Structure 1
Amino acid sequence: MKSDRSSRWSWAFYDWANSSFATTVMAGFFPLFFAEYWAKGLEPGTRTFWLGLASSAVSVIVMFIAPLLGGLADRKGIKKHFLFAATVLGAVSTAAMFWVAQGNWPLALGLFALGSIGFFAGTSFYDSLIVAVAKPEEMDFTSGLGYGLGYLGGGLLFAVNVFMFQSPQTFGLASGAQAVLWSFLMVGVWWMLFSLPLFRWVHEEPMHDQSGSDWQELVRTFRQVLTMKPVLLFLLGYWLYIDAVDTIIRMAVDYGVKLGFEPSALIKALLLVQFIGFPAAVLYGWLANRFGTKLMMYIALAVYGGVTIGSYWLQSERDFYLLAAAIGCVQGGIQSLSRSYYARLIPSEQSGQFFGFYNMLGKFAAVLGPIVVGQTALVVDNQRLPILTLLPFFVIGGLLLSRVKAPAAAAPSQNPPAASA
């Protein structure tokens, strides 16, 4: 396995590249622009149905293909090939939305679905390549660097795109709608351009093909997961606490709207998370090498528990910003350390397929949490109380994590690799 500064930074910059899709497109403009521009002629319920159907279809497709293609990539040694294909699919589909005419919602929705497939499928191959660029003792910092660059890159482009939307004349554009279309084109170019270092400088070890069909290998790996207690316990704990993390991410804006906060305040809070998340994620990787990966994960889960409780007492926009800042300090940390810790638990030669299962659980995330929160909201006459139902997710997830036997490489190091990364 090759491990040097250029390969680690090149790998990490893929987070900078594809996070533009997560911020500007998924979390930012597409849902609103779809309703107000492409599908404005449809009934609100019909718009919601088709948008939800597309999102569900993407999830199902990725859940099936990620482990299957991951196993094939392992046996052939072609993770970079699959990542390149996913990147081209995602970037080109996103950029193509620039040319979709107003009212042509089926084409816009189809391109968004293809872009989402490229994003989520590509993430699985990208995650699995961490074993090709980092030694076990370097994985925490390297993973944190990736998430940190993702927050910074995604946040920078999103900030520019928001400014374009709010002041299109400054950029020589006729309207906010034209600014949004240009934003989609910019995301596609940004995604493709900043992915190039990975394809140039990250070197994947050649593998020899194994016997058996892709489906047989998938079943074999699933059975293998069931017999590997540390991996199984980690995946169960990860599914619970990342479900709660993703629920907070997805429902924060809706929660703020219910409390009467201005949309501009919610956008500012989102940008605050992005820019705090950059140094925090990198710092978290360094601290994990210094004090231990699991300890830092426990701290992140404790902060999320505190944020959940604090959300119940939320009163002002200032309080909302403070909670957003707290999330920014640990969100990248729990995500990056989960990735690096898992990478040390699995066989490196099967990283593609094992990370396929990891990202499959990620797609299941934010399913149970919103259901629990939503059902609680139906039976209680208090819009603040349902958020507290997420606390058990963090507690039980942390307890399961505590039962995972730490690999030797996860122990604290007196010489963290930060300086050489």
Structure 2
Amino acid sequence: MSASAPPAASDPASEPAAARRREQRGWYVYDWANSAFNTTVISVFLGPYLIPVARTAACAKDFPDVPAETCASDFDRLAAASPGLGYVDVLGFDVRPAAFFGLVVTISVFLQIVILPIVGALADHTGRKRELLGGFAYVGALATMGLYFVEGDRYLLGGVLFIIANLAYGSSIVVYDSFLPQISTPDERDAVSSRGWAIGYLGGGLLLALNLVLYLQHESLGVSEGMAVRISMMSAGLWWAIFTLVPLLRLRNRPVPAHETTALRSVGGSFRQLGRTLKELRRYPLTLLFLVAYLVYNDGIQTVIGNSAAFAAEALKLDKTVQISAILMVQFVAFFGALLLGSLARRHGTKRTVLGSLVVWTAIVIVAMFVQEGQALQFYLMALAIAIVLGGTQALSRSLFSQVIPKGREAEYFSLLQISDKGSAFIGSLTVTIALQLTNSYRIAIVSMIIFFVLGFVLLAMVNLPKAIRAAGNEVPARI
């Protein structure tokens, strides 16, 4: 198989502006579709719901004589007074219930590290990006809908379904992101990437608002709290499945060089292509440096977001209403934040804007150590700061990365980027899991993320972006 780029027809500058805009609008809708999983499931409901499910299982196993409600409310004291008890079994290992959600996140992201580069190589090798996007999206949506059946002591079912959903989610995002350089010119990418991220916040926020109504009014609707949470998680899967139809109708595949025709041979060709891509990274040292910088600071971002609801519940003792309303506020403020950072990038340069956002992230995790228990206002102010920099940091990073990768290899390179994206990153989530296992303190776990932002800042500052863009054979935008 040749490693050459696809034919020139895939160059977005050669296509009519109206055709590009049509695809761009369809592309935006997938962010609207999948963000429901990120907000409703990852950021709000699953962590605080799955931990008590794991506690229920631990209570039944280790404290069968204690009434279930008493055990659930007094679990930490019972576990502290009984060395060796208060754990759940995961593949033969004893795991604290508080650390179980972090563990399944870690496992899911580890699997992403293994599988996403293969997904990217397969997408570029076959050119069947639209079909792959739809396949991964619907596997993830179905697994998310299956979370409705997680109740009682079914913590393992919840963990397995989340791992499948998060792996499919990450795989779909690899393919989705790889469309960006195919549907936008270099000077359009900051704006297109920022709009996609902003629209995603609106979609995720709208469904979360509807779920907030259900959760707050569950008693008047004759629905239990647990049932309201399960319906909310199922609704995220339905939302994801329904709105995915729009990008599948709007986006189109681009031509690729001749390749193996059978599925098995295509997979084999994809492995060979992946090997060539990894070796080729040595030819693009600045692209590799940017990738490492992004993986480091995005580890911190995704870990903070993925553990925000659990942090509010476990460290601050805030109820679910505060957690959901804060995340809901983040969704709508982040829409404007993504557009704001996109505007700042046009004025001051994309790299400077991202570096400034990392300074804000560093301040946020330091402040988290001092937020007082039960102080909802302080938590809301911290969430507001997150909302302003959240979408813009990631959208502009995605745009920057699209500039420093060679044409025709978008999905392969974006798969490397996505290893650390939206679903909580491996090293960060592992750090939180270890901190919780050793200290049982969410404050210490969150503040440990400071090293990711500081190191990421230093590495990004070292990247000579114009040189990296030219080395990849791309045109340097007017402002970078």
TM norm. shorter chain > 0.5:
yes
Q: Deviations over 1:26-49 (max 9, x none)?
A: 222233444556983445521774
Q: Evaluate the alpha carbon distance shift between residue 15 and residue 173 of structure 1 in structure 2; reply closer, same or farther with a 3 A threshold.
A: farther
The yes-or-no answer on 1:272 pairing with 2:329 is yes
| Amino acid corresponding to residue 272 of structure 1 in structure 2 | M
Distance 1:32 1:322, change over 3 A: closer
SS at match of 1:272: helix
Deviations 1:335-393 (CA, angstroms, capped at 9, x unpaired) = 1111111011101310111111111244896444466678789999x986776554443
Of 80, 100, 115, the match for 1:65: 115
Identity of aligned residues (%): 30
Q: Is 1:191 paired with 2:262?
A: no
Name 2:360's counterpart in structure 1: 303
1:141 aligns with 191
Q: Tell me if structure 1 keeps the 8 A contact 2:205–2:332.
A: yes
Alpha-carbon distance in structure 2 between the residues aligned to 1:208 and 1:343: 21
- Whether the 8 Å CA contact 2:119–2:174 is kept in 1: the answer is no
**Partner residue, 1:31:** 47
**Paired residues of 1:293 and 1:411 also in contact (CA < 8 A):** no
- What RMSD, in angstroms, separates the aligned Cα atoms of the two structures? 3.2
Tell me which of 18, 21, 43 is aligned to 1:5: 21
Note the 1:66-145 alignment, pairs <5 A. 66-98=116-148, 105-145=155-195
Structure 1, gaps ≥5 residues long: 414-421
For residues 109 and 442 of structure 2, the distance between their equivalents in structure 1, rounded to whole angstroms, comes to: 29
Correspondent of 2:250 among 196, 201, 216: 201
**Cα gap change, 1:272 to 1:180, in 2 (>3 Å):** same
Q: Which residue of 1 aligns with 2:277?
A: 221
Q: Does 1:412 align with 2:479?
A: yes
Asked if 1:325 is matched to 2:384, the reply is yes
Q: TM-score, normalised by structure 2?
A: 0.76
- Find 1:46's aligned residue among 88, 100, 103: 88
What is the CA–CA distance in structure 2 between the aligned matches of 1:101 and 1:247, rounded to whole Å?
A: 25
User: By percentage of residues, which structure has more helix?
Assistant: 1
Picking from 454, 468, 479, the partner of 1:395 is 454
1:236-315 paired onto structure 2 within 5 Å: 236-257=292-313, 260-263=316-319, 264-315=321-372
Q: Is the 2:106–2:430 Cα contact (8 Å) retained in structure 1? A: no
In the TM superposition, residue 233 of structure 1 has moved relative to its aligned partner by 0.9
In 1, distance between residues paired with 2:430 and 2:251? 41
Deviates more, 1:367-376 or 1:52-61: 367-376
Matched residue count: 412
Q: Flag the 1:391–1:270 CA change in 2: closer, same or farther, 3 A.
A: same
User: Take 2:30 and 2:149, find their aligned partners in 1: how far apart are those partners?
Assistant: 26
Residue 101 of structure 1: how far off its partner (Å): 7.0
Q: Flag the structure with larger Rg.
A: 2
Counterpart residue number, 2:77? none
Instruction: Go from structure 1 to structure 2 and tell me whether the alpha carbon gap of 1:374 and 1:56 turns closer, same or farther (over 3 Å shift).
Output: closer
Q: Decide whether the 8 Å contact of 2:104 with 2:163 is kept in 1.
A: yes
Equivalent of 2:227 in 167, 172, 178: 178
TM-score (norm 1): 0.86
Q: Cα–Cα, structure 1 residues 128 and 324, in superposed 2: closer, same or farther, change >3 Å?
A: same
CA–CA distance in structure 2, aligned partners of residues 69 and 357 of structure 1: 10
- Pairwise CA distance, 1:288: 1.9
